[in-house]
Structure 1
Amino acid sequence: MKTKPTPPSPNKMPVSESRILRLTASAFATICVSFGINAILRPEHALTFFEFNYPTSSNERAVVDSLMVVYGARDIFMGLAVYIALLFGSSKSVGWMLIAVSAVAMVDGFVCWGHGKGEWNHWGYAPVIAGVGAVALGGLDR
């Protein structure tokens, strides 16, 4: 006589499928979208995360403001991509999206480092996002 396999109990759920992990990934997505909106609506303030000075001439401000829209759209895209992976993808797709977001933060830090300051405004959180991504990939599953 064959017995039916019992489904895993909620207490034995893989870490990569946990509600806390999904909420953490959602928080990172929300931060990305928020940074993007800030960059579009308040470019001068968004530059403070890079520790760059806002230009004084109107022509330079116009260029920087336009570039901040591009930067803001990038951040909004990253956040939406994480949300989409959370809604329609697997924990592995969420993990890889978070690792990609972390890589973008690392590049932002290298740009700041090249200008002599502000890199830790990006490098400080990049490993945290990468770590959460690694957990979503199954790094702590048994």
Structure 2
Amino acid sequence: MTLSQSSLIPVIAAFFGTTISAFGVNAILRPAHALSMFEFDYPTSAPIKQLVDYLMIIYGIRDIYIGIAIFSTTYYGHRKALGWNLLGLAGTAFVDGVVCKMNGHGEWNHWSYAPMVAILGCLSLGALDFA
């Protein structure tokens, strides 16, 4: 059996799908807490706070969408599509880290899991199959 057909890939992918979806729900329901994961200060001014809260809803829906994409491709057994979804998540985490680095700190909150997701995506795509 090749690595891309391992039964562990969908299980681990579901874990990442659940985690990213939970981040999304958190961003919608608790924007101040979600913003703290980026190590950004939550605004005190009412108009800016409202803008940030609205942007966190957009961010939250993005994360929920990524989770649903991972769940659906896992459920239907589309390993290559799952691999691309996982690579998309890894890219998203990388860019989130870049934004944090631009702010001066917090990048490793995102960069710490991006390589794991990228490797899982490569595994699912069959890029590491040697037969």
TM value normalised by structure 2: 0.95
CA RMSD of aligned residues (A): 1.0
Taking the aligned partners of 2:77 and 2:85, their CA distance within structure 1 comes to 11
Matched, 1:128 2:119: no
Larger radius of gyration: 1
Unmatched tracts of structure 1, length 5 or more: 1-12
Matched, 1:112 2:100: yes
Taking the aligned partners of 1:109 and 1:131, their CA distance within structure 2 comes to 18
| Count of equivalent residues | 130
| Same amino acid, percent of matched pairs | 48
Unmatched tracts of structure 2, length 5 or more: none
Taking the aligned partners of 2:7 and 2:29, their CA distance within structure 1 comes to 33
- The ranges of structure 1 where at least 4 consecutive aligned residues each deviate by more than 2 angstroms after the TM superposition are 139-142
Pairing of 1:34-113 with structure 2 (within 5 A): 34-113=22-101
- The range that moved more, 15-24 or 65-74, is 15-24
**Paired amino acid for 1:94:** L
Taking the aligned partners of 1:127 and 1:61, their CA distance within structure 2 comes to 33
Taking the aligned partners of 2:88 and 2:74, their CA distance within structure 1 comes to 15
**Paired amino acid for 2:49:** R
- Give 1:64 shift: 0.5
- Give 1:46 shift: 0.2
Matched, 1:32 2:16: no
- Give 1:14 shift: 2.3
